[in-house]
Amino acid sequence: MTDHEITLTVDGTTEELTVESRTLLVHALRDELGYTGPNVGCETSKCGACTVRLDGDAVKSCTVLAVQADGSEVTTAGGLADGTDLHPIQTAFHEEHGLQCGYCTPGMVMTASELLENDPDPDREAIRTGLKGNVCRCTGYQNIVDAIETAADDLAESGTTTQQTCGGDQS
Amino acid sequence: MRRRPVVIPPEFDYCRASSVEDALELLEVHADADPVVLAGGHGLLPDMKTGETSPGVLIDVSEIDGLRGVEGGDSNRPFSIGALTTHATLAESDALWEHAPVLAEAAKNVGDLQVRNRGTIGGNLVEADPAADLPAAAVAADATLALRDDDGERTVSADEFFGEDGTTSLGNRELLTEIRIPNSERTHGAYAKKTHPATGYALVGVAVSLTVEDGTVTRARLAASGVAESPVRLTVVEDALVGSEATQQGLSAAAENASATLDPSDARSDPTASGEFRIHLLEPYAERALTTALDRTIGDGETADGTDAEVTTDE
């Protein structure tokens, strides 16, 4: 079956690779390129642990073919930080203990980054609704919601927007 | 029998179409290899990963220019919605919320943020999942679907597009390109959904499109998702509504008949909800959708008695 030469820009780095038609974006990122932010949690499009930003949109990378993403810009949780300085969303997850085993965290952080872009001051209900596509099996979500509330406050205080940090075309 | 998840799809060929004509040619060229059109992929790829479907070739239409976006909607001009328009775009369209809210609200209820970012209205309608939100909304909105093949375009109403057994009238060599929605200043609507806790699809969803003139319902279309293999028109409710006063009391009375023509033994059933329960849900969800539609009518300057309302809302 067909192979495809594709180019992805991942966390600011241009990557060229060959994928099969059936290679899922999450496997291209993890297995071929070594970006371990997106986690493989369910592969049935339910859990959201594999969430990345694809040209600015939060997507489940287990439900996108790598070849579909040819020419696109991908941001993983690893690309949110500015060097060794964590992104305010990452810091808030750390400080509010918005994680337990941590497996779902990269996906949560990436979804939160779009959520806060669309609504910089969400109430707890809006945060919960926004997290519908991300499943956590440990925390009961309380601290995750706390973390996103805190991140919203921190971002508003610092004048930072997630858009500037994440990059990508939001249109 | 429940199929075992295979997680990574079996092998297939992939080609990307650059135009509608290109897509139609690729469908023709690969006719012997079970070609399937790939749009957002959020119905198709999960099915491929669980072995529900195994196309020999995917024809990716997602990069075709001109099949994306919502146009029209002002001055009673009909809406023209490109088949590749995402659920997120529909849910964020001010024009749709104003003149065809049933579609915007149904799109807002699809899946989750990530799914809405990738899933498309065309893909959703063609997939015709019995519990999907948009097919019922398209029927309630009286949508017309534009289908293209080598011979040109044909149009089919959403009512006729969905077969009773979960199929559609789309031909193997055809491509859904556009969804057209009538637009009237006096038409309002809503979508009320009981979400299946496991799948995120509808246990029951009721889509309503209501036209109110001088306090009287002049036109009503209701369609339900989740209860049968295709969207079900609630014609008993529609008949009760047309000609009646647009009051909460009147709408609630009409909703009482929502399940009148449906036999529970014909309804969809799974361990979460029996057919009987789903049909039982039709009345309250029809009432909720009608109530919201009425609120939007009043928000647009009408009152139940036809005089100008003092209170207006943004939506």
Residues of A in contact with B200 (CB under 8 A): 132
Radius of gyration of chain A (CA): 15
CB contact under 8 A, A65 and B14: yes
Residues B52/B3, Cβ–Cβ less than 8 Å: yes
Which contacts of B257-264 are long-range, i.e. CB under 8 A and separated by 24 or more positions? B258/B206, B258/B222, B258/B224, B258/B234, B258/B282, B258/B283, B258/B285, B258/B286, B259/B283, B260/B236, B261/B235, B261/B236, B262/B227, B262/B228, B262/B232
Which residue's structure tokens are 């014909």? B266
Q: Which of B294, B315, B285, B299 has its CA nearest to residue B251? A: B294
Cα-based angle B102, B103, B108 (whole degrees, multiple of 5): 100
End-to-end CA distance of chain B: 46
> A102-160, pLDDT tens digit by residue?
999 999 999 999 999 999 999 999 999 999 999 999 988 999 999 999 999 999 988 76
Contact call for residues A59 and A26 (beta carbons, < 8 A): no
Residues of A within 8 A of B42 (CB-CB) are 45, 63
Which residue on chain B is closest to A26 by alpha carbon? B8
Task: Convert the pLDDT of each residue in B57-82 to its tens digit.
Answer: 999 999 998 999 999 987 778 999 99
Q: How far apart are the C-alpha atoms of A158 and A45, rounded to whole Å? A: 34
Instruction: Report B:285-314 residues touching A (Cβ under 8 A).
Output: none
Cα separation of A117 and A161, whole Å? 7
Query: Nearest-CA neighbor of B180 among B197, B209, B155?
Result: B155
Q: What is the mean pLDDT of chain A?
A: 92
Whole-model pTM over 0.90: yes
Measure in Å the smallest separation between the Cα of B123 and chain A Cα atoms: 14
Q: Do A44 and B114 touch (CB under 8 A)?
A: no
Q: How many beta-carbon pairs under 8 angstroms link A with B?
A: 78
Q: Is the pLDDT of residue B13 over 60?
A: yes
Angle at B112 between CA B284 and CA A164, to 5 degrees: 140
Contact present, B145 and B139 (Cβ < 8 Å): no
Tell me whether B91 touches chain A (CB under 8 Å): no
**Alpha carbon of B251: minimum distance to chain A alpha carbons (Å):** 29
Q: Please compute the mean of the pLDDT values over residues B191-208 and round it to a whole number.
A: 94
- Which tokens hold the place of B135? 């097919």
From chain A, the residues in CB contact with B38 under 8 A are: 65, 68
Q: Do B46 and A51 touch (CB under 8 A)?
A: no
More reliable by pLDDT, B312 or B30: B30
CA distance B175 to B169: 11
For residue B111, list chain A residues with Cβ-Cβ distance below 8 A. Answer: 132-133
Q: Which residues contact A86 (CB under 8 A, 6 or more apart)?
A: A80, A94
Nearest chain B residue (CA) to A60: B114
Closest CA to A162 of A118, A123, A124: A118
8 Å CB contact of A45 and B50: no
Least confident of A17-21, B43-47, B74-78, B239-243: B74-78
| Confidence at residue B306, expressed as pLDDT on a 0 to 100 scale | 43
User: Is residue B206 left, alpha or beta, with left meaning phi > 0 and alpha meaning psi from -120 to 50?
Assistant: beta
Q: Which of B13, B60, B115 faces A133 most closely, judged by CB atoms?
A: B115
